[in-house]
Chain A
Amino acid sequence: MAEPAPMWTVLVLPIVLGGLALFAASLNGVLTAVASGRRATLAEWAEPLRASARLLVRQRRTTFRADVVLRRVGIAGIVVAALLASVPTPLGGVAVADLPVGVVWFNAMEILLWALVWLTGWGGNSAFSLVGGYRFLAQALAYELPLMFALTAPPLAADSLRVGAIVQAQQDVWFALWMPLAFLVYLIGIVGVAFWGPLSPPAAADVAGGVTAELSGADRLVFLAGRYLMLAAGAAFAVPLFLGGGQGPLLPAWLWSLLKMAAVLAVLVWLRRFSLVRAERLMSWGWLVLLPVVLLQVLVVGVVVLLRG
């Protein structure tokens, strides 16, 4: 697994991740259409592309005395963080870089959103977008620790922080099967990282769109793209971590990876049907339910590893 990845993988990563993000946006549009009684036509699937074109030609709105630098860092940074987070994610057997601490690397890149989302909210010099930024931090405090512990379970079982080794360790049984709670908590954490669905109060309608309130034109496009990219990066990383990477019959490994990534992403997008969770309730659930559950899960994994010798 230690062979250096070819250079072309650097070009493939944005294409694959961008494709997944576009798939998520399209699926979201189709689900909206179906929910409002329309048919899921091809035009509905292509809606994100049309919306992107509209945003690109629209002029950027600026707010009074906005901190433009911080805001731009926040907006563009999310795209960068999502791409960097996916560096150790293998497609089939090939990752851009199978880092020795791939799992910690993903965690570190994903946590950059703490700063970036807040900066986007702060930079606009607008009350609602600032409220959105603070909401993200409040939520992050609730989901981040359970997410971190969920991330420790697969490396514990595989005895390595290297993503390639974690895939190798799942040749007999996928980790999702014997550590389902860690898998579940991981998915909840990713929903939080991308402030998606039930965990989207940072960008909710009750605060006029929160962090997205003052974003328009290209700014809005880049920010929303970054959010879908982050959701896609989280879904993609679940595949080597819990779903056996590219393992599967008949089809080539890269196709299996892609199919599994799309499936996980579809489930995450579908979660939008659940209603918003308030930050303080999420805090209760996060620390009273998710955290003990995931600690027990890690304990079980630890005992199994010890018994297996």
Chain B
Amino acid sequence: MWEVIAFWVLAVLAVASGIAVFRVDSMARATFLLLASFLFVAGEMLVLELHYLGALTVLMMTAEMAIMAVFMIMFMMNPAGLEPMEMVHNKRGALVISVAVFVALTAAALVVPWPERAAPHPSDATHQLGEAIMRDKMLVMMVVGVGLFATMVAATLLATARGRYGEHAAPSRPEPSPHAHAHHHHAGGDR
């Protein structure tokens, strides 16, 4: 019984905070209302005993929205909502599109003939989830995952010029000046 109540409360809250994203005039509020919406969805997953997916949604979305807030605020003229601002452009078109998408998705969710659960609830849903996604390719996926991650780290490393004060910072080579013989700077590092 309480699962049904929790499901509906969370569902309403998720949609409501999703709508509120477009009703506020502060970038920070919009960003974190969107995060709130995601967290309510994560709550839905926990109610449905999809523990792993629920926790993962909290984890991914929080980190993502926190970083996104930085960029959204960086590129917005009125991030704090101290001046009047509209979150919506092309109001009518946007409304039509979003309502159409919402109706289509809801209809799909309601119309699709979902299979009845045949087996009892698995003791370890996380394990089953991993099996379902990767099957016997688990090892390959893991190795590829770590490989991709290492590549990303290495690529970032190679592409990054060190900060101004970093301990291992390579001092920028002074421009070869016509009076090179006059001064000879030795700046800290040896690279």
Contacts and interface: CB of A to CB of B under 8 A. Distances in A.
B167 interface: yes
A276 to B, nearest CB: 13
B62 A137 contact: no
B51 A101 contact: yes
Contact of B125 (A65, A100, A107, A280): A100
B165 interface: yes
Interface in B11-66: 26, 28-29, 32, 35, 51-52, 55-56, 58-59, 62-63, 65-66
B121 to A, nearest CB: 11
Contacts of B32: 70, 73, 115, 119
A6 B59 CA distance: 28
Contact of A284 (B59, B124, B168): B168
Contacts of B65: 115
User: Which size bracket describes the interface of A in this complex?
Assistant: 35 or more
Interface in A140-166: 140-141, 144, 160-161
A111 B62 contact: yes
Contacts of A134: 70
Interface string A91-130: 0000000011100110111011011001100100100000
A183 to B, nearest CB: 21
Contacts of B80: 65, 67, 125
B58 A108 contact: yes
B66 A137 contact: yes
A234 B70 CA distance: 26
Given A104-B56, A284-B168, A287-B153, A115 B51 contact: no
A119 B29 CA distance: 10
Contacts of A144: 63
Contact of A101 (B69, B126, B146, B150): B126
B157 A99 contact: no
A189 to B, nearest CB: 14
A273 interface: no
Interface of A: 65, 67, 69-70, 73, 99-101, 104-105, 107-109, 111-112, 114-115, 118-119, 122, 125, 134, 137, 140-141, 144, 160-161, 278, 280-281, 284, 287-288, 291, 295
Given A101-B52, A122-B28, 17 more contacts: A70-B32, A100-B124, A100-B126, A101-B51, A104-B51, A105-B55, A108-B62, A111-B58, A111-B59, A111-B62, A114-B63, A114-B67, A115-B32, A137-B67, A160-B124, A280-B163, A281-B166
